[in-house]
Chains A and B, each alone.
Chain A
Amino acid sequence: MKKTIPLLVVILGGFIWLAWVFVPHRLLQDVFYYDFYLPWARAMAPFGMLLGVMSLSMMHYGKIRRKAPKWQYSFFFFAGFIATSLAGFIGGTQKGGLYMWLFENLQMPMSSTMFSLLAFYMASAAYKAFRARSAEATVLLVAAIIVMLAQVPLGVKISRHLPDISQWILDVPNLASKRGIMLGVGLGSVATTLKILLGIERSYLGGD
C-alpha cells in the first residue's frame, strides 16, 4: 500500500498531463488546468518555499549539533539567512534599503568572484593540458583558437573573415554534434518517461 498509492498517483497524474498536451477538450484545457491545477499550484508554491527553508535549516542545525566536519560554516548560513530575511521584511527590497545594499555589496561581488575564477583555471588548463597530441586534439585546438580570436575585436583586426569561419564552426560541426547529443538525450527522456508512466521504473519510490 505504501508504494501502490504513490505509484498510482504518479501514473494517473502523468497520463492526465499527457492528455492535457494532446487533447484540446474543454474538460482538460479549462476545467482541469485553469479551475483545478492553477489555484492548487499557486497555493502550493509558498509551502514549497517553506519546506525548502525548513529542510535547509534542519540540515545546518543537525550539522552544528553533531559537530560534523566544517560545522562552523553552518553559522554563516544562519547569519546570512536571518540578516537578509530581516533586511527584506523590515526595510523592503527596493533600492536604498539594507536588503539591496547586502545584495549589491556582498552577494553580487562574492558570486561574481567565484564565476570569474573560471578565467584563471581556463588559462592555466589551456597552458598545462591543451596539447596537439593527436589529430583530433589538433582539430579541437585549431577550432578553439579561431573561435577565440573571432570573438574579440583584436581578432577581427587580424582578418575580417575570422567571424565567418568561426560562425561556420559553430553552425556546422558544433551544431551537428550538439544535435546528436540532444536527440540522444531526448530519446532517453522519452524512454524513461514511458517506463515511469507504465510503472516499470520505480526507483523514485525508494527502497529496492
Chain B
Amino acid sequence: MEEKLTLFERIQKLDRRWVYIVVALAIIIPLMLPYNSDNVTSPPTENVYQMIDSFAGREDRAILMSFYHDASTMSELYPMQVAIIRHCFERNVKVFFLSFLPQGAPIIDMAINTVKEEYPHIKSGTDYCNFGYIPASLIMATVIGMGDNIATAVPTDAEGRKVENLPIMKGITNYTEMNLVIEFSGSVAGGYWLAYARPKFGTNIAVGVTAVMAADEYPYLQTGQFIGMLAGLKGAAEYEKLVDVFAAYREPGQPLIPYVDASGKKHVPGRPFSEDLLEKSDIQDLIKITTQTEAKFTSAEFESFVTTQSLTDQAKIRQAKTESDGKILIDVSKLKEDDFESGTWSALNRMTRNTPYKFKVARIGMNAQSVAHMMIIAFILIGNIGYFIQRARTGKK
C-alpha cells in the first residue's frame, strides 16, 4: 500500500505545472487590470535622463541610439527605447539610430514610427536620422570613424540619402557634438564603445540592458565609464515616469511643441529635471497609468489655458467646464474631437495628464512583475519552510 504523504512532503513534490499556472496568472491579471503604482527612480536612470535633457533644443548636440539586440529581448528593451525617443521628440533633442544586427533594423523603424504618430511635427533627416543596419564587420570602422566625421563613417542613411546633406547634420560633425551613445543589448552592452569611442574621443556611453545582465554592467557604472544605465523593465518604467513628470509636462497655456520667438530665441517646452520635485506627492497625478479623462485647473491656470486657444474654442471650453472642490474640470470624454481645432484638442488632452498606452507599457509591465516577484518570493519561502520541517521530522525519526 502506498504511504500517505504529509502536507510538507506534498509541498516539496508539488508538480511544476502548478507553479507555471500560478506564475501565468500572476502576470496576466495585472496586465489586464492596470493599477497606479510608483516606480522610484534610481541614479543610473536619472543620469541618462539628465544628460539627454541637457541637450534640449541645442543645434550642436545629439545622441546616438544603438539597437544591438533582436526581437527576443524587446519586451524589456523596447519600452526604454520608446521612452527615450519620446523624451528626444518632446525636448527637441537630435537623435541618430543604428543597428549592428540585421534584426535590430526593423526594431528601430518600429520604435520611431510608434513614437512619431504622436508628434506630427517631427521630421526624418531634420529631427532624427536612422542609419539603419550596419554590418557587424564594420563595427570598429564605424565606431572609430564617427569620432572623426559621422558623415564619412556612415555616408548614407537607411533611406539612401547622403548623410552630409541632411539638415540634422547642421552643427554635428563627430562625437564632440554627438556626445552620448546609448547601446541597448540583451547581452554585454557598450563593449565596442567603451573600447574605442570613450578612450579615444571621450564619448559619453550609457546602456540599456535586460534585468539579468544589469549586474554585469555595475563595474563600468562605478568607474564612470558608463554615465548611466537603464536596467530591464524597471529602468524603462523609471524613464517613462521621468518623461511624464518633466519632458512631457506642460503648464496650462504653454505651447506643446518647440517654437522660436520674435527675437529668434528658441523655446523648448517641458521642464528641467529636479530631484525635489520627484519627492513631492502632487506628481502622482502626472504618473497615473489608469485612463484619465478630466483636465483639472485652478482658476488662474484655467484662464492661462483658455486665453491661448482660438476665440471659438474658448467659448466651447468655457461651456464645457464644471467645478468641484475649488477646481475647474473639463471631461474630454464628454466632448467631441471634431468640435475643436486640432491644436486645442491636443492641448486639452495634454491637460488631462493621460498617457497613451504605448508610453506606459513598462509601468503596466512592472505591475505584473511586482506580482510575479511576490509569487516567486512566496514560492521560495514555502519551499524552504517545507524543506526545513521535513528535514526536522526526518532528523527526529
Can you name 11 extra interface pairs (CB under 8 A) apart from A100-B110, A131-B387, A170-B214?
A41-B138, A100-B109, A103-B106, A107-B71, A111-B74, A112-B74, A114-B72, A120-B19, A124-B20, A153-B370, A154-B371
Pick the residue among B19, B38, B367 that contacts A156 (CB under 8 A): B38
Rounded to whole angstroms, the CA-CA distance of A42 and B135 in the bound complex is: 9
Tell me the chain B residues, 208-240 only, with Cβ under 8 Å from chain A.
Answer: 211-212, 214-216, 218-219, 222, 232, 234
How many Å from the CB of B197 to the closest CB on chain A?
14
Give residues in A with beta carbon < 8 Å to B: 33-34, 37-38, 41-42, 44-46, 48-49, 93-95, 99-100, 103-104, 107-108, 110-112, 114-116, 118-120, 122-124, 126-128, 130-132, 141, 144-145, 148-149, 151-156, 160, 163, 167, 170-171, 174-175, 178-179, 182
- Decide yes or no: A127 and B14 within 8 Å by CB, A93-B109, A95-B113, A119-B27 being known contacts: yes
How many Å from the CB of A144 to the closest CB on chain B?
8
The 5 lowest CB-CB distance pairs between A and B, nearest first, are A153-B37, A111-B72, A152-B370, A111-B71, A127-B379
- Decide yes or no: A115 and B73 within 8 Å by CB, A95-B109, A127-B379, A131-B383 being known contacts: yes
The answer to whether A178 and B74 touch across the interface, beta carbons within 8 angstroms, is no
Does B290 interact with chain A (Cβ within 8 Å)?
no
User: In the complex, how many residues of chain B place their beta carbon closer than 8 angstroms to a beta carbon of chain A?
Assistant: 61
The answer to whether A93 and B106 touch across the interface, beta carbons within 8 angstroms, is yes
- Decide yes or no: A130 and B16 within 8 Å by CB, A111-B74, A182-B219 being known contacts: no
How many Å from the CB of A17 to the closest CB on chain B?
10
Q: 30 A-B residue contacts at CB 8 Å?
A: A41-B141, A42-B141, A44-B137, A45-B137, A95-B113, A103-B71, A108-B74, A110-B71, A112-B71, A112-B74, A122-B376, A123-B22, A123-B372, A123-B379, A124-B16, A127-B14, A127-B19, A127-B383, A132-B387, A152-B234, A152-B370, A153-B37, A154-B37, A163-B40, A167-B42, A170-B214, A174-B215, A174-B218, A178-B215, A178-B219
Q: Which residues of A contact B38 (CB under 8 A)?
A: 153, 156
How many Å from the CB of B103 to the closest CB on chain A?
7
Question: Residue on B with the closest CB to A147?
Answer: B215
The answer to whether A112 and B75 touch across the interface, beta carbons within 8 angstroms, is yes
Q: Which residues of A contact B42 (CB under 8 A)?
A: 163, 167
Report B177-190 CB contacts with A as 1/0, cut-off 8 Å.
Answer: 00000000000000
Question: Residue on A with the closest CB to B144?
Answer: A33
Q: Which residues of A contact B320 (CB under 8 A)?
A: none
Tell me the chain B residues, 39-54 only, with Cβ under 8 Å from chain A.
Answer: 39-40, 42
Rounded to whole angstroms, the CA-CA distance of A145 and B19 in the bound complex is: 18
Tell me the interface secondary structure of chain A in the complex. Answer: helix
Total A-B pairs in contact (CB under 8 Å)? 153
Report B354-374 CB contacts with A as 1/0, cut-off 8 Å.
Answer: 000000000000110111111
The answer to whether B110 and A154 touch across the interface, beta carbons within 8 angstroms, is no
The answer to whether A127 and B219 touch across the interface, beta carbons within 8 angstroms, is no
Does B23 interact with chain A (Cβ within 8 Å)?
yes
Report B234-251 CB contacts with A as 1/0, cut-off 8 Å.
Answer: 100000000000000000
The answer to whether A120 and B20 touch across the interface, beta carbons within 8 angstroms, is yes
How many Å from the CB of A129 to the closest CB on chain B?
8
Does B283 interact with chain A (Cβ within 8 Å)?
no
Rounded to whole angstroms, the CA-CA distance of A107 and B113 in the bound complex is: 18
Question: Residue on A with the closest CB to B44?
Answer: A167
